[in-house]
Amino acid sequence: MSKATAVHWFRKGLRLHDNPALVAALKSEIELRPVYIFDPWYEKNVLCGPNRWRFLHQSLTDLDKSLRDIGSRLFVFRGTPEEVFTSLFSEWKVQRLTFEIDIEPYALERDEQIIKIARQEDVEVIQKISHTLYNTELVLKANMDKPPLTYQKLVSLLQSLGEPPEAVAAPKELLSEQRVSSKLLDSHDYDIPTLEDLGVDQSQLGPCLFPGGETEGLARLGRCLERKEWISTFEKPKTIPNSLSPSTTVLSPYIRFGCVSSRLTYHKINEILKVYKKHSKPPVSLIGQMYWREFYYVVASATPNFDKMIGNKVCCAVPWDENPEFVEKWAQAQTGYPFIDACMRQLRQEGWIHHLARHAVACFLTRGDLYQSWEVGQKVFEELLLDADWALNAGNWMWMSASAFYHQFYRVYSPVAFGKKTDVLGQYIRKYVPEVAKLPTEYLYEPWKASLAVQKGAKCVLGKDYPHRIIIHEDVYKNNIGRLSAAYKANKLLAQETLDEDDASSS
Ligand code: FAD
């Protein structure tokens, strides 16, 4: 006769620490069976490059090991959650199902469906918030159920709610009733599929600079926290987009997959700030960065079609150009602007680039130079970033294309001067764009200024060894500013007409 079980369903939140839903699964003295499901919906609908697959795989492997250390394991399935749970609920005599709340649109629909099935089977469902600092619904409630559209507004709402909950401790050794039988521990039926089984093209993997998993993530957080002075004086715009080793924490992939809890990070940083009284402040401080994350999560949770221009209330409608060749050259780092190409190559190879490097390439693709929709840039980032996160990716793309939240569309990044400010010698370019590496430093950012003789001497003949620049920044950016200004005016007119209509219909 098999025993009753409690299932904790891991989705994001791939950790034992600060996992209130996992702790809730342990409240009764029944066997704990932690589950992870490879859901084909994601494979069909979300672009995921090999580097992120590897990060996920490493995170699951680490999680399985940590669970085994306390007397359980990870049970991995491939299939739709509906199919998996429909059979598991009876097969495993599931009494309780727990999981972390996920505000992404597909996740909400999926969970509603699973809750329905659970009810039919008399399975208790417990959901907990632990991906964000705050309960996004409470933040919205404090703003009369409307998404706050400025960062300052968000911060004042968060402050009105007090400090976010403390991180919950990781479960230690399980009680004997909660432990998984040795037969199941040894069974290979529920093993994590290999990258090969998952169909990942491993020839495209880059160097593994940021291995996935809670253990790695907590170690990284620990190393950051040791630099107390740095934490207390951290100011985002003063960090360097093109330094050869990261100038920010690179916690983003770990926080995105939930290998590291945002609440733990927040409270640990705050402990340091209590000692260093003259610390930096939001929006530029590290706590400020955590608030940016919260900002996009809160707005995304209350904005239908947040990742699209059409049907998205917060997004300015812009008639962007459609030039697939431009997009391809940008995505494949062949724009002829070495700084832009260096950033895009670092992204493709390593899966992470600095925030301001993201700014530079996003501005270049959209309002600055190529005038392509932010949605296509979002898709490329979705594929290549280790930290690709639905709410943050869309929110930041809207920001940088000046489609929402940020409206100084006339402040355009120069694809030459911006990178030069922090890397005059162009070491970053030399590393990632070896074709131009032998050019004298004065031409590294602007190879088109080098004479043919210099180009030949450096084995970097434009059009042969490295592309001519895709557009001439000086010629296009002012025109683009004018086009965006016209789009803003059209949106204002439209907004005014809608208001007039609303007034007319309410009077
Ligand atoms: P740190 O500066 O050390 O900040 C600590 C943490 O704060 C980050 O790990 C992250 O969780 C959060 N954070 C920092 N900046 C932001 C921000 N602007 N918005 C939201 N959260 C922030 N970040 C993602 O995590 N996933 C994405 O898909 C993503 N897409 C982006 C797309 C564009 C076009 C741009 C301009 C930015 C994007 N960002 C995204 C935000 C930001 O660039 C990264 O979070 C940050 O660079 C990660 O590096 P870090 O961990 O060293 O950040």
Dist CA 108 CA 135 (whole Å):
15
183 Cβ contact partners less than 8 Å away, ≥ 6 residues apart: none
Instruction: Note whether 123 and 273 are within 8 A (CB).
Output: no
Dist CA 156 CA 221 (whole Å):
27
Instruction: Note whether 441 and 420 are within 8 A (CB).
Output: no
The residue whose CA has the least distance to atom 22 of ligand 1 is: 293
Ligand 1 atom with the shortest distance to the CA of 296: 20
- 250 touches ligand 1 (CB under 6 Å): yes
466 Cα: distance to centroid of ligand 1 (angstroms): 31
Write the burial class of residue 3 (CB in 10 Å: 0-12 exposed, 13-18 middle, 19+ buried): exposed
The residue whose CA has the least distance to atom 18 of ligand 1 is: 292
The token duo for 322 is 């459609």
* Per-residue pLDDT, 129: 98
* Per-residue pLDDT, 507: 33
Dist CA 90 CA 86 (whole Å):
7
Dist CA 306 CA 392 (whole Å):
10
* Alpha-helical runs (H) found in 276-337: 286-301, 324-331
* Per-residue pLDDT, 499: 54
Dist CA 352 CA 112 (whole Å):
33
Instruction: Note whether 247 and 239 are within 8 A (CB).
Output: yes
- 134 touches ligand 1 (CB under 6 Å): no
Q: DSSP string spanning 325-365? A: HHHHHHHTT-SS-HHHHHHHHHHHHHS---HHHHHHHHHII
Probe residue for ligand 1, chosen from 48, 55, 289 as the CB with the greatest number of ligand atoms within 8 Å: 289
* Per-residue pLDDT, 496: 62
Instruction: Note whether 128 and 22 are within 8 A (CB).
Output: no
Instruction: Note whether 278 and 235 are within 8 A (CB).
Output: no
**Pick from 166, 158, 175: nearest CA to 6:** 175
Dist CA 205 CA 216 (whole Å):
19
- 297 touches ligand 1 (CB under 6 Å): no
- 484 touches ligand 1 (CB under 6 Å): no
- 279 touches ligand 1 (CB under 6 Å): no
189 Cα: distance to centroid of ligand 1 (angstroms): 37
Probe residue for ligand 1, chosen from 247, 250, 252, 291 as the CB with the greatest number of ligand atoms within 8 Å: 252
* Per-residue pLDDT, 42: 97
Give the helix/strand (H/E) hosting 197.
none
The residue whose CA has the least distance to atom 31 of ligand 1 is: 393
- 396 touches ligand 1 (CB under 6 Å): yes
Ligand 1 atom with the shortest distance to the CA of 246: 52
The token duo for 411 is 């402040």
Dist CA 289 CA 276 (whole Å):
18
Probe residue for ligand 1, chosen from 392, 401, 406 as the CB with the greatest number of ligand atoms within 8 Å: 392
Q: Is 103 helix (H, G, I), strand (E, B) or coil?
A: coil
Q: Name residue, tokens 């990716």.
A: 393
256 Cα: distance to centroid of ligand 1 (angstroms): 10
Probe residue for ligand 1, chosen from 264, 382, 387 as the CB with the greatest number of ligand atoms within 8 Å: 387
The token duo for 320 is 């962007």
What's the farthest any 2 CA atoms get from each other in the chain? 83
- 251 touches ligand 1 (CB under 6 Å): yes
The token duo for 468 is 């001519």
355 Cα: distance to centroid of ligand 1 (angstroms): 6
Instruction: Note whether 145 and 247 are within 8 A (CB).
Output: no
Dist CA 469 CA 449 (whole Å):
11
ipTM value greater than 0.95: yes
Instruction: Note whether 231 and 272 are within 8 A (CB).
Output: yes
* Per-residue pLDDT, 463: 98
**Pick from 162, 95, 167, 161: nearest CA to 128:** 167
17 Cα: distance to centroid of ligand 1 (angstroms): 22
Q: Is 396 helix (H, G, I), strand (E, B) or coil?
A: helix
Per-residue pLDDT of the chain (507 residues; tens, 9 = 90+): 578 999 999 999 999 999 999 999 998 889 999 999 999 999 999 999 999 999 999 999 999 999 999 999 999 999 999 999 999 999 999 999 999 999 999 999 999 999 999 999 999 999 999 999 999 999 999 999 999 999 999 999 999 999 999 999 999 999 999 999 999 999 999 999 999 999 999 999 999 999 999 999 999 999 999 999 999 999 988 999 999 999 999 999 999 999 999 999 999 999 999 999 899 999 999 999 999 999 999 999 999 999 999 999 999 999 999 999 999 999 999 999 999 999 999 999 999 999 999 999 999 999 999 999 999 999 999 999 999 999 999 999 999 999 999 999 999 999 999 999 999 999 999 999 999 999 999 999 999 999 999 999 999 999 999 999 999 999 999 999 999 999 999 988 766 665 555 444 333
504 Cβ contact partners less than 8 Å away, ≥ 6 residues apart: none
Q: How many residues does the chain have?
A: 507
Q: In what order do the strands lie in the sheet with 75-78?
A: 75-78, 31-38, 5-10, 94-100, 124-128
**Pick from 12, 122, 38, 22: nearest CA to 72:** 22
Ligand 1 atom with the shortest distance to the CA of 385: 28
* Alpha-helical runs (H) found in 92-207: 105-120, 136-142, 151-161, 182-186
* Per-residue pLDDT, 502: 44
Phi/psi at 34 (5° precision): -75, 135
Query: What's the 3-state SS for 1-65?
Result: CCCCEEEEEECCCCCCCCCHHHHHHCCCCCEEEEEEEECHHHHHHCCCCHHHHHHHHHHHHHHHH
253 Cα: distance to centroid of ligand 1 (angstroms): 9
- 400 touches ligand 1 (CB under 6 Å): yes
The residue whose CA has the least distance to atom 13 of ligand 1 is: 289
The residue whose CA has the least distance to atom 43 of ligand 1 is: 355
* Per-residue pLDDT, 277: 85
- 386 touches ligand 1 (CB under 6 Å): no
Q: How many CA atoms lie less than 13 Å away from 434 in the CB half-sphere? A: 0
Dist CA 398 CA 185 (whole Å):
46
Give the helix/strand (H/E) hosting 78.
strand 75-78
